[in-house]
Amino acid sequence: MDQHSAMNGFLRDVERRALRIAEMSVGNRDDAMEIVQDSMMGLVRRYAGRPSGEWKPLFYRIMQSRINDFHRRRVVRMRVMAMLPRNPPEQGGMIADPMENATRGERENPLREMETEAATQAMIAAIERLPDRQKQTFMLRAWEGLSVADTAKAMGCSQGSVKTHYSRALKNLQRQLEDVKP
């Protein structure tokens, strides 16, 4: 398999999960799409020549940087907006509520979703309520299947931090889902 095909296969495999992870981090799909596209471009331009086994942590490292940039810009925008008179957030549309976006998206199989909707939503909402670092660690480890070492590379922190965030995320989810009772 040549490098172009290998990269195509890698991106095709990772793109939908990456979009979902970005979406849960920034709170809306359009910004998440931009971040994923930017991350794809960054990976291809700079690291396509590296061994394919390194692509995943590198891709998520780039994506994490873009997500951090996004949050920085949002904080700046919020500060500027706060200084402007008569410009409430709901009109500016910049303070997206992640919970509101949790179930956004057109449904393709309503009958099947009706059976599992409550349980799925409870879990998704619980993940979205995690603090950012815990959420990121949990999704990269539990869903994307990165090792502790690769998650540390992707997040730019130590392996010890990854273990701590992950353990806290699990405890946090346990606690949250304990409360989900009829």
Partner 1 sequence: MREVAGKGRLDEQEIEQLARQALQQSLAGMNAETRSRLNQARNQALAAQSRPAPWRGWVPVGAAACAALVFAITLPFGASQVAQYVDPGLIMPELVAEIGPAALEDTELLENLDMMLWLIEVENHAS
Contact 144, 155 (CB under 8 A): no
Closest CA to 93 of 21, 30, 20: 30
> Which of 81, 94, 142, 148 is close enough to bind partner 1 by CB under 8 A?
142
Within residues 17-56, the interface with partner 1 by CB under 8 A covers 17, 19-20, 29, 33, 36-37, 40-49
Closest CA to 174 of 133, 136, 138: 138
Q: At its nearest, how many Å lie between partner 1 and the CB of residue 43?
A: 7
> Which of 123, 129, 147, 164 is close enough to bind partner 1 by CB under 8 A?
123
Pinpoint the alpha helices (H) of 130-158. Answer: 132-138, 148-155
Contact 124, 102 (CB under 8 A): yes
CA distances from 125 to 84, 101, 178 (A): 32, 10, 13
Q: At its nearest, how many Å lie between partner 1 and the CB of residue 49?
A: 6
Kindly determine how many residues on this chain lie close enough to bind partner 1 according to the rule CB under 8 A. Answer: 63
Q: Which is nearer to partner 1, 4 or 87 (CB)?
A: 4
Told to check if 120 binds partner 1 by CB under 8 A, we report: yes
Told to check if 106 binds partner 1 by CB under 8 A, we report: yes
Give the separation between CA 114 and CA 21, rounded to whole angstroms: 23
Contact 146, 60 (CB under 8 A): yes
Told to check if 87 binds partner 1 by CB under 8 A, we report: no
Q: Which is nearer to partner 1, 29 or 94 (CB)?
A: 29
At 79, list the tokens.
């500060």
Candidates 77-85, 89-97, 119-127: pick the segment binding partner 1 (CB under 8 A). Answer: 119-127
Candidates 1-9, 79-87, 88-96: pick the segment binding partner 1 (CB under 8 A). Answer: 1-9
